[in-house]
Amino acid sequence: MKRAYRYRFIPTPQQESLLARTFGCVRFVYNSILAWRTDAFSNQGLKVGYTKANAMLSSMKKEPELDWLSDVSCVPLQQSLRHQQTAFKNFFEGRASHPTFKKKTHRQSAEFTRSAFKYRDGQLFMAKSKEPLRIRWSRELPGDPSTITISKDCSGRYFVSCLCEFEPKPMPVVAKTVGIDLGLKDLFITSDGFKSSNPQHLKRYEQRLALLQRRLSKKKKGSANRAKAKLKVAKLHAKIADCRMDATHKASRTLINENQVVCLENLTVKNMVKNPKLAKHIADANWGELGRQLQYKALWAGRTVVKIDRWYPSSKRCSCCGHTLDHLSLSVRSWRCPECSIEHDRDINAAQNIKAAGLAVLACGA
C-alpha cells in the first residue's frame, strides 16, 4: 500500500523565494490551460486531453514574455496538468463539479516526482535548490518516497507530504463489536452506553475569531495592516482546524484499537450541512472525516467497518421489541416504548440498533 507522511518544515530565504516562484508558475499554468480548455470546449466543442495540454505548455515556454516559466522545475507544471486532467475526468463522469481557477490567496502546492527531488541520508533536496529542506522529522519514513508534495497554507506554514510504500501490520483480533451513533452534544455514542464529549473547538475560539474578523473588516483593502490582520485570522482558523483534526484522529484510533467491527450510519454530511441552524455545529463535529478515518485505519489494522443505510430508523425503533414510532422529534432525548414499556435513551438506543443492523449486513454479506 501507499501512504503519505506529512511533515512541517521551515524553508531558508532562498528556498522560500524559489517556492514562491514555483507556486506562482504552477498557478499560472493551471489557470491558463484551464481557460484555454474551457474556451475550446464551449466555442468549438473540443475536449482537450493531457497530451494537447502538455504541448500547449511547451509552446508557452517558448514565448519570450513567458521565459520565466523555465526558472523553476518543469515537473510541478506537468503534474498540475495531470491533476487538471483528473479533475476534468471526475467532472465529466459526474463525481465533481467543473474545475475552478486557483487563487493566490488560497493554499498553494506543488508536486515533485523522483526526477525533481533527492532523498538521501535522511535529507530531502528539491530541484533547483542545493540545501536540504529543514524538516521536523516527527517519525521515520518506511522507505524512499516516490512523490513529494510541498504546500503552503493560508497561515504561512510550509508542509511536505512524502508518498511511500508501506506494509500495514494487522492488529490482534478482539472479540468485541460496537455500534456508534454520531451526535452534536456528544461526538459519538456507543452501543455500550459510552458517550464521547464533543470538544466544540470552534465554539471555544468563536469570540476571539469574531474579534479578529471585525478588525480585519475595518482595514483598508490592499494595505499592509489588512494583510497582517488577515494572517491573524488565518492562523486562528488553522489552530481550530488542527485541534479538530487531532480530536478526530484520537477518536477514530480508539474505536479501531478497541473493536473488531465498527458499525455506523452512512450519513450524507454534504447535504446535512445545508441546514442553516445546524450547519456550523455539524461541520465542527467533523462527521465525514471521522467516517473516512475509520475506514482506512480499519483497512490497515485488519478491522471491519460496516455502514448501514442512512434511512434506517435507528432512533425511532425499540432495540428490545422492534417497535417503531411514527414520529420522534429531535428535542426528545428519551422515550418509553408503548409495547414493552422500556425507557430508552435516544442515542444509546440508536447505537444499539445500528450495531444490530450492521452485524446483520455483515452476516448477509450485503
The x, y and z cell numbers of residue 183, run together, are: 451526535
Beta bridge partners of 282: none
CA–CA separation, 33 vs 157, rounded Å? 28
| Known catalytic membership, residue 345 | no
Tell me if 31 sits within 8 A of 104, measured CB to CB: no
Identified catalytic residue from 93, 186, 258, 265 = 265
HEC profile of 201-269: HHHHCHHHHHHHHHHHHCCCCCCHHHHHHHHHHHHHHHHHHHHHHHHHHHHHHHHHHHCCEEEEECCCH
| Known catalytic membership, residue 71 | no
CA–CA separation, 291 vs 284, rounded Å? 14
Q: Which DSSP state fits 324? A: B
Identified catalytic residue from 192, 309, 339, 347 = 347
Identified catalytic residue from 63, 93, 181, 289 = 181
| Known catalytic membership, residue 347 | yes
Angle at 309 between CA 341 and CA 304, to 5 degrees: 100
CB-count exposure of residue 121 (10 Å: 0-12, 13-18, 19+): exposed
Kindly list the catalytic residues. Answer: 181, 265, 347
